[in-house]
Amino acid sequence: MTVISKKMCMLGDFGVGKTSLIRRFVERQFSDRYLSTVGVKISRKTVHLKDVQTEKEQELKLLIWDIEGHTKFKSISPAYLQGSSGVLVVADLTRQETIDHLGDRIQEYREINPHGQVAIALNKSDLLEEEEVLEMKNKLNLPEAILGVYNTSAKTGNNVDTIFQELAYKLWLTNC
């Protein structure tokens, strides 16, 4: 069985928890300390996938690009997005403006990768009550069809494996 490698990106405003989500997924750790990412950092993790219908199995090496957060003063270099098969667009449930920016981030990504897979993580769900999270999710108004919207928490690990696994599975199936 050959290992497939796929590039995926993390996009979102500064401080929404992109680095933390990767850290949780790859190193199974979390820290409350905020260390702002500049430039980009690539992490790797191999996930095991199985197609329930065909019983086919696959090892997929995810190259996760942790890209510096978008801020008022700086947009990210589009080159980072080049050649990626999917993207996890992250927002912070406790900061409405990061949710409002989701549409822009998706747009940015789609300009480079029109066929890339897009999943959305509404992160820091641990800071809100479950019903509040649901309400936020229902309020969400996204312009186009996307893979899925997940409320995640890098702190508790809630949905973190799920969202990466789902995205990886999709990347494998669509092979983009």
Partner 1 sequence: MNQTLRSEIFIPSHLKYFILDGEFKILDYSENLESFSEIPQEFGLGKDARLSFPELIGLEKILLEILQGKRNQFKFQGISRTLNNENLVYLDLIFEKMGSHAIALIEDITAMMNLNQTLFQQVNENGLVIAELTTNKDYINKIISSMGNVLFVTTRSGKIKTVNQAAKQLFQYREEELIGLSIAEIISDREELLAGDRQKLLAGEAIEEIEVKCRTKQGRNLIVGFSCSVIQTEKKIPAFIYIGRDITEQKRAEAEIEKALVKEKELNDLKSRFISMTSHEFRNPLSSILMSVELLENFGDRWPEEKKSKHLKRIKQSTDTMTRLLEDILTIGRAEAGKLEVKPIKLNLEEFCRELVEEFQLTAGEKYQIQLQCSTDLDSIPMDEKLLRHIFSNLLSNAIKYSPDGGIIDFTAMKIASTGTNGEREKVKFTVRDRGIGIPPQDRSRLFEHFHRAKNVQDIAGTGLGLSIVKKAVDLYEGIISFTSEIGVGTTFHVVLPIIGDR
CB of 22 to ligand GTP, least distance (A): 8
Binding-site string for ligand GTP from residue 147 to residue 176, where x marks contact by CB under 6 A and - marks none? ------xxx---------------------
Q: What is the DSSP letter of 125?
A: G
Exposure string over 37-75, b if 16+ CB within 10 A, otherwise e: beeeeebeeebebeeeeeeeebebebbbbbbbbbeeeee
**Contacts with Mg ion in 27-56 (CB under 5 A)?**
37
CA 108 to chain centre: 14
112 vs 162, which CB is nearer to partner 1? 112
- Chain residues binding partner 1 by CB under 8 A are 5-7, 14-15, 34-36, 38-42, 44, 63, 68-69, 71-74, 77, 79-80, 82-85, 94-95, 97
